[in-house]
Amino acid sequence: MSEEPSYSVRTLRDLVSEQAWAELTRYPSRPYPADRTLLQQGAEGSHVLALTSGLVKVVRTDRDGRQRLLAFRGPGEILGEMASLQEGGQRLADVRTVSTCKASLILAEDFRRFVVTQQLAYPLAVLASGRLREQTEVYDGAVHERLAVALVRLVEISDGEDTFALTREELAQHIGVGRGSVSKALTQLGPERVEAAKNRVRVTDVEGLRRLLADAVGV
């Protein structure tokens, strides 16, 4: 029998030593309220943020004005590192808070020096690979399975939180379908696994979602 599939997302904190993460988070830290843009698409990568609490979403606006919700990020993540690793690099997406968050701000120059001294080139490459896998998996399978993957990940990256200030439209953007398809998928999953209100979704049985996904791949 094959192993049960894992839909967890590794963070930078998972990939570096406790000392290295402590060094990053010793920089000045501040709280941010929900629904705040922390990093703006098109802006220069002047700094990175080390997220120590809360949940954020990564949203890209295409040239035609269409928005795509690319990912969610939780505690232990580094935000904005790709643009900051290149001098004059521009951010490819917004990072917006979903809940109240706390993050440390590290100037790009300091971060680049930190990557060299702490030998973080390989961990950052692993992080980038994992994020690519994450985006691939959320577009694979039936709609209700893709939604289940997204919801399981949300619970995991939020340290067990089960309620999120998200709309059906945002979930649809994230898994690449229409809002109506998300509503149908929620019906398929059922309130015994997921409850959805107008601007909020609650995972009532994360283990039930995991079992559904395991069954889908024949585990």
Whether 12 has a pLDDT exceeding 70, the answer reads yes
Burial of 171 (0-12, 13-18, 19+ CB in 10 A): buried
Q: Domain range spanning residue 28?
A: 12-130
Whether 2 has a pLDDT exceeding 60, the answer reads no
Tell me what the mean pLDDT of segment 186-211 comes to.
96
Residues 121 and 161 placed together within one structural domain of the fold: no
Residues 36 and 126 placed together within one structural domain of the fold: yes
Q: Which of 26-40, 83-97, 124-138, 173-187 has the lowest mean pLDDT?
A: 124-138
Task: State pLDDT tens for residues 125-136.
Answer: 999 998 888 888
- Show Cβ contacts of residue 82 under 8 Å, excluding neighbours closer than 6 positions: 45, 89, 92, 128
pTM: 0.91
For the chain, how far is it from start to end, CA to CA, in angstroms? 7
Residues 82 and 29 placed together within one structural domain of the fold: yes
Rounded CA gap, 74 and 65, in Å?
Answer: 26
Residues 176 and 84 placed together within one structural domain of the fold: no
Task: State pLDDT tens for residues 39-71.
Answer: 999 999 999 999 999 999 999 999 999 999 999
* β-bridge mates for residue 48, sequence order: 106
Among 105, 130, 155, identify where a domain stops: 130
Per-residue confidence (pLDDT) for residue 87, from 0 to 100? 81
Q: Residue 150: what residue type?
A: A
Residue 29 dihedral angles phi and psi, to the nearest 5°: -120, 150
